[in-house]
Amino acid sequence: MNALSPRRRIARAAVAGVALTGLLAACGGSGDDDGSSASGPVTLDYWGWANGQPAVVKAFNAAHQDVRLKYTKVTDQLTMQKQLTNAVKAGNAPCLVQNTAEYVTTWVSQGALADISKYVEPSRAKFNAGSWASAQVRGTFYGVPTSSSPNFTIYRADVFQKYGVKAPTTWEEFVAAGKELKKHGVKITNYAGEDPSTLEVLAMQAGAHWYAIDGDAWKIDFQDAGTLKAAKVIQDVIDNDLNSTLSFADYAAVQRNYDNGGTVTRQISTWQMAGMVQNFTKSFGQWALAPWPAFAGEAAKTPAGTNLTGGVNLVTKDCKHQQQAAEAALWMSTDPGAVRTMASPETGNGVMPALADTSSYVDASISRKLLGTHYAPAKKVVSDSLDTVTTDWTFGPNWTAMFTELQAGWAKVVSKEQKVTDLLAHMQKWTVDDLRSRGISVKG
């Protein structure tokens, strides 16, 4: 949450069949031209945005003689979708692209990705089940997962202690803590007007299902009980002026605000610590971790992702060397050196690996510099959060367009021009209408 950056989703990117969506006829190339008989080294273009990837590419090239990666850094997640759209239309998409699970269904529906199941299936046991699911649609694999997403709260322990506030364990306590901190000129959270992932992940945690498959149609529901439960928490925060409204367009200003104690909590994953480590100057050692707040009376449960991490490396249909691309993606996600580089907030993106066993990487994925004496207990918070992750969230075939529309409405929510429930009512109608305009069978 709280940043328009790569989001890691441990979720099932479920999608209906060809007859259901009308968009999945082209499901990727066969990979017959995989370059296995080519002479000389094969060069694979690889686009990504995450810190640490250049070092991983350098290590890959040093370890391989027959295949080389040519890395191009893209600005961010949203820029990637735009540039990839243009490349796919032009027929010159790179072989490998960093992406996130919520976009996999969309790219499959556009026929942009290659079926690499036969190359990656033998490695299934190396990955945890949630991460493994993020790279497939209806049992066909289009990429290799890159990270898991432990989610938790990071908070300014010194500020909480100063004002006698305890780390909240429920969302109700979160709002109450915000009201107490407000008395001292401190905001408990930041809602950027361009980033509706706050609404998405709280709805996910509350058991909502914006998209689901019902028989031969998509079922759309932005107004179910879970979503309304999430909406109430957010509306309470906004109505009581408990949140900052700093845009991540000015990333430095947001980080200064956290560093100076103007805003004192974030619901994040490990990778977002990297930006804190790289930008803070005053508050090192003052931050601590606590579990993601639960809804009152409910067991601990964390969403499948926050505005989060790079989740998958995808292989495109345009790639002429699909086997080599799949094998390169597997190497980047499983080589111990490469994984540790990406796991560290100092050298990489602070992402938790997608591997079945991540215990040896927890130390590397959180910052002792940032947490100080709170470092040791933080390790348990991170490990425990992986056991409570939501696994039944579905991304729909028009997710990209839907999220863009959601952004526009969220900005009005943050500026108090409309209520969260107004936005949800709009999104219900808009999403149904949009799917129907694409010729997709839909209920809602």
For the segment 120-137, what is each residue's pLDDT rounded down to a tens digit? 999 999 998 778 888 888
pLDDT score for 269: 84
Average pLDDT on 357-365 reads 82
Give the DSSP per-residue string, 150-216.
-EEEEEEHHHHHHTT-PPPSBHHHHHHHHHHHHTTT-BSEE--TT-THHHHHHHHHTT--SEEEETT
If pLDDT is split at 50, 70 and 90, which confidence band does 16 have? very low
3-class secondary structure, 274: helix
* Domain stop point among 322, 337, 363: 363
- Domain co-membership, 70 together with 144: yes
Partners of 232 in the β-ladder: none
Judged against a pLDDT cut of 50, whether residue 230 lies above it is answered with yes
Indicate whether 413 belongs to any domain.
Answer: yes
Given this model, what pLDDT does residue 46 score?
Answer: 98
Average pLDDT of the chain, as a whole number = 87
Same domain, yes or no: 221 and 159: yes
The answer to whether residue 37 is domain-embedded is no
Local structure of residue 415 (DSSP, 8 states): T
pLDDT at position 105 = 82
| 239 & 208 share domain | yes
14 vs 327: CA distance, rounded Å:
25
Whether the pLDDT of residue 76 is over 90: the answer is no
Question: DSSP of 290-319, one letter per residue?
Answer: EEPPBPTTS---B-S--S----EEEEBTT-
Distance of CA 57 to the CA centre of its chain: 22
Task: Tell whether 369 is covered by a domain.
Answer: no
Cα angle 23, 24, 28 (rounded to 5 degrees) comes to 135
pLDDT of residue 30: 42
At residue 388 the predicted structure's pLDDT band, cuts being 50, 70 and 90, is: low
- Does pLDDT of 28 surpass 70? no
Question: Domain check: are 262 and 407 in the same one?
Answer: yes
Q: What is the mean pLDDT of residues 221-239?
A: 97
pLDDT on residue 37: 43
State whether 145 and 164 are in the same domain.
Answer: no
Cβ 103 vs Cβ 151: under 8 Å: no
Q: Determine the Cα–Cα distance for residues 12 and 133; give it in Å rounded to an integer.
A: 6
How deeply is 23 buried, as exposed, middle or buried, from its count of CB atoms within 10 A (0-12, 13-18, 19+)?
A: buried
pLDDT value at residue 49 = 93
Range of weakest confidence among 75-84, 156-165, 293-302: 293-302
Same domain, 285 and 398: yes
Please choose, from the candidates 65, 66, 61, 62, the residue with its C-alpha nearest in 3D space to the C-alpha of residue 46: 61
In which residue are the tokens 């709260």 written? 153
Q: Is residue 17 in a domain?
A: no
Whichever domain contains 289, its CATH number is 3.40.190.10
- Give the span between the Cα atoms of 128 and 229, in whole angstroms: 30
Residues 268, 409, single domain; the answer is yes
Per residue in 153-173, pLDDT (tens digit) is 999 999 999 999 999 999 999
Condensed to tens digits (0 to 9), the pLDDT of residues 80-94 reads: 999 999 999 999 999
Closest CA to 99 of 77, 123, 117: 77
pLDDT band at 99 (very low <50, low <70, confident <90, very high): very high
Cα 172 versus chain centre, distance:
25
Q: Are residues 81 and 207 in the same domain?
A: no
Count how many domains the chain has.
Answer: 2
Q: What is the pLDDT of residue 25?
A: 34
User: 139 pLDDT band (50/70/90 cuts)?
Assistant: confident
Model pLDDT, residue 119: 98
pLDDT at site 131: 83
Average confidence (pLDDT) over 262-269: 94
User: According to the model, what pLDDT value does residue 364 have?
Assistant: 77
Tens digits of residue pLDDT in 328-355: 999 999 999 999 999 887 787 777 888 9
**The dihedral of CA 182, 185, 187, 190: what is its sign?**
positive
The parent domain of residue 164 ranges over 151-301+378-438
Q: Kindly indicate the confidence band of residue 9, based on its pLDDT and cuts at 50, 70 and 90.
A: very low
Q: Dihedrals φ, ψ of 42, to 5°?
A: -90, 135
- Look at residue 20 and tell me if it is in a domain: no
Whether 174 is in a domain gets the answer: yes
389 and 318 housed in the same domain: no
Closest CA to 105 of 133, 82, 80, 78: 133
Residues 190 and 243 in one domain: yes
The answer on 398 and 413 residing in a single domain is yes
Give Cα 133 to chain centroid, integer Å. Answer: 14
**Closest Cα to residue 275, out of 58, 50, 9?**
50
Read off the pLDDT band of 391 (50, 70, 90): low
Please indicate, yes or no, if residue 102 is contained in any of the structural domains. yes
Is the pLDDT assigned to residue 310 strictly greater than 80?
Answer: no
Quick one: 190 and 275 in the same domain?
A: yes
